[in-house]
Amino acid sequence: MTTKATRIVYSFSLLMAAFSSYATTLQSGMYEGLLLAVSPTGNITGYYSESAEDSVKRTCTFFLTGHVSAQQPDKITSWSSSVLPGYIAANSTGVTLTLPDGQNHAGCMSVLMPEIATGLELDTTQQTRWQTLMQVSSPHAYLSTTPDAATRRKAWIVKGDVVGVIERQAGWTKVEFVNGSGKTSLGWVSSNDLQPLTPPAS
């Protein structure tokens, strides 16, 4: 016969198992210098940006793509001036990003921590609803309140900016942009103003 105490212990075990599973599942969000999006079908897109400044400001930026697999960590492809393979995995406080030659990305040698070669742990700073990341391809992408040019605001994002995609609707895309100081802007832009993050052909 199952006692009440046994049922409580069993229920607690199930809860902890569920929490553990959630904590180690790759999620869309901001992880210190990394913007990460995981689609419902498991596609991974990311953008890493970090700066260091003494007498000269130095910036390390690169993109990444991959796909969630049954086994952790997930293989990814990263690129800036060169294309480099690596891995990403969820951990209890965020994600672990591993790029064995990551410091060879343009501008990263004196900015990116050497732990990137064996596993750089990045803590979660904010969870998001991003389905993917995209890059602005037009000189200016004006933000609208609704998917309609009539509600265009006096706000825009510029070519090269990376945005998180939340929703798409009839030629419009709802995006979230995070600036260098962490401030976010939300709005709709024409889908024609955006391009996917795609590694260059090798």
Instruction: Give CA–CA dist 176/167, Å, rounded.
Output: 10
Give the residue from 32, 101, 106, 98 showing the smallest Cα distance to 66.
98
Q: Which of 42-51, 100-109, 120-129, 177-186 has the lowest mean pLDDT?
A: 177-186
Q: How many residues does the chain have?
A: 202
The model carries a pTM of 0.85
The 10s digit of each residue's pLDDT in 28-60 is: 999 999 999 999 999 999 999 999 877 678 899
The 10s digit of each residue's pLDDT in 162-200 is: 999 999 999 999 999 998 888 899 999 999 999 999 998
pLDDT of residue 3: 56
How far CA 173 is from CA of 155, 158, 176, in Å, comes to: 15, 15, 10
